[in-house]
A and B are shown apart, each in its own frame.
Chain A
Amino acid sequence: MPIIEITFYLFAAVLVGAAVMVISVRNPVYAALFLVLTFFSAAALWLLLEVEFLAIVLVLVYVGAVMVLFLFVVMMLDINLAPLKEGFIRYLPAAITVAVVMAVELMMVLWVRGKFGSEAFESPVPHPPDYNNTKEVGEWLYTQYMLPFEVAGIILLVAIIAAVALTLRRRPEAKRQDPARQVQVKRDDRIRMVKMKSETKVEE
């Protein structure tokens, strides 16, 4: 099925290219947008594997929520990437050396010496039309991987506690709203009726 292979290589190429751009562009907003593109490409690759649920969640959560939030932050904080990138050129030779060595080794492992290429694994059999990926994922999560699933929940709890513990601070001088008090407020708390005599005409 050449159409599938063409699609795969297309999205894979876009994914890698976008990932390179994320770390190389100067403007942080562009970088964030390229990251969005990376996620999209990854989602597309997942679709090729018929894992719709994950593909959609990736787009919804990462692109829809996380990256938007990230973009907000980038825009609100005027981050100057120039000083961060100062050493980029200086360290580039070392980085490239490392990267090349790593890439060569990976290739050796995956293609030359190992049996990890596409010929080593059978292509996945396409699922029948009534296959429901969402249901499948759900079943696995609540049976085989129930405990890990719960633990992942606990990790989120820890993340919340950590975030609160690290950022919540009571500033006595800060003015804060108290919705309960706002709602309960009565007219008498706010308005004082002052009765005074109306002015009388001054006798001349």
Chain B
Amino acid sequence: MNGSLLDSVNIGNWMLIAPELWVLTMTCVILFVDLYIKEERRGIIHLLGMITLIFAAIITLRGGYLEEGATQAFAFNDTFVRDRMGDVLKAFSYLVLAGVYTYAKFYMRQFSLFRSDFYTLSLEALLGIMLLISANNLVMVYLGLELLALASYALVAFDRGSQRASEAAMKYFVLGSMASGILLYGMSMIYGATGSLDLAEISTAAAAAGSGDIILLFGMVFLVVGIAFKLGVVPFHMWIPDVYHGAPAAVTLFIAAVPKMAAFAMAYRLLQSGLGGLHVDWMQMLAVLAVLSIMAGNLAAIAQTNIKRMLAYSTISHMGFVLLGMLPGTATGFGAAMYYVIVYSLMSAAAFGMVILLSHHGVEAEKLDDFKGLNRRNPWYAAIMAMVMFSMAGVPIFVGFFAKWLVIKAALDAGLMWLALLAVIFSVVGAFYYLRVVKLMYFDEPLAESSIEAPVDFRAAISINGILMIGLGIFSSALISVCMSSFT
């Protein structure tokens, strides 16, 4: 199994990781360009970031790498895998990150944080996300995760002047290190039990050993904990409220929206591609985690007065729903979970985009009260926020409804009637705090009468983002079929 040196330099390998290479190259380019431009011409960096994403999307979606009849293509001695699921998730990561850049530029200019570090670090994080999505080997999973995590820690602490941000970054860093330690320990157990780091080989060994192998089971618990931390499900969610709250809104936006897609891919690769043979066991674990998250997330969100914290708890409950979709371990189930996670990313991007939009004079609009009377100040923005909230609450015809519906159906398919019922009940509970925002916007007196100003690209992005909430609901079949066909 010791691959030859020749194999490593095989051109086919490099073609497969072309998107990753492109992103890496552009990160370095941005790093250098920044040295030679003046402060007031930072816009170039933003432009370069967008170009990176656009071309990455083109390279990724070009396809044609699959051999006749194959659904996956491997590179670098099977440590790297390209497949449809990976491509779709990557493409959405670019899309959401492009949105994040558009929102963040406005924010960073306002708070005089507009530095190229944000772009380099977030592109590195994106690279981590891409590698994680395409990992086919425990080592690659771990490295991708670390790359993503390290860049995220730095991003949280990005606003050096803010004590709150530093505190959040510290917490994130320590807890994240612990989680990755736990994950690594689990991986070592899996390696010990199966004698391999390659997911395909692990899969064969795990299928043969089944639930009887206690070492395998033991290692899997650790893996599940690692995944749970990354997704942020109860009881491994503690970092989420503090980090979302502490980080600058632009960074929160990034952390909330993009890495969840990688976390989903990681869960799929580890649990399904790797430990599919132990489905019965991890299904139960995920079921418990999902229940706790949906309950705790929705209940705790009600008590929040800070919208960033509220959205943090809402994220926790959304991730519970994602787990719900993964429970059956079937293609439809994973398709539903993937659809949910993509929809969630779009929704949270829009929600935090609105938080950024309302920030003014260097003060973040993080109180729920800042949304009071928004309809009076600007009905269109209020409508966007209302659509986002309706979508998050899972009101029919909005895209969030379909996401919830599909994952609940997946849970039903797995025969978990009680879980589906609980999910429905708590999504009704959750609707309360989403609709409270709508109530604040439409029925309360505004605290500030000032008009809301934003550059044209911001306005366009947030409008498109808002319209997607209902557009993807009305024309929901397209995205659903894309997700469903990713797992065959």
Contact = CB atoms under 8 A, between A and B. Distances in A.
A161 B143 contact: no
B120 A161 contact: yes
Interface stretch (A32-40, A42-50, A147-155): A147-155
Interface in B88-111: none
B76 A146 contact: yes
B282 interface: no
Contact of A145 (B121, B124, B127, B139): B139
Nearest to A146: B8
A70 B249 CA distance: 34
A148 B137 contact: yes
Contacts, number: 87
Interface string B126-164: 010001000001011001101100110110011010000
A142 B5 contact: yes
A116 B150 contact: no
A139 B154 CA distance: 34
A161 B76 CA distance: 27
Interface in A113-164: 113-116, 139-140, 142-148, 151-152, 154-155, 157-159, 161-162
B214 A113 contact: yes
Given A114-B218, A143-B3, A147-B76, A154 B24 contact: yes
A161 B117 CA distance: 8
Contact of A161 (B79, B154, B192, B215): B154
B80 interface: yes
Residues of B in contact with A, size category: 35 or more
B79 A165 contact: no
B77 interface: yes
B31 interface: yes
Contact of A155 (B80, B143, B160): B143
A169 interface: yes
B214 A158 contact: no
Given A109-B214, A145-B79, A162 B140 contact: no
* Chain A interface, DSSP helix/strand/loop, else mixed: helix
B77 A143 contact: yes
A164 to B, nearest CB: 8
A94 to B, nearest CB: 16
B80 A147 contact: yes
B146 A166 contact: no
A147 B136 CA distance: 11
A79 B31 CA distance: 36
Contacts of A144: 1-3, 77, 79
Given A147-B76, A147-B80, 18 more contacts: A109-B218, A114-B214, A143-B7, A144-B2, A145-B77, A145-B139, A146-B76, A151-B140, A152-B143, A155-B150, A158-B147, A158-B151, A158-B154, A159-B150, A161-B117, A162-B153, A165-B121, A166-B157
Interface of B: 1-5, 7-8, 17, 24, 31, 75-77, 79-80, 115, 117, 120-121, 124, 127, 131, 137, 139-140, 143-144, 146-147, 150-151, 153-154, 157-158, 160, 192, 214-215, 218
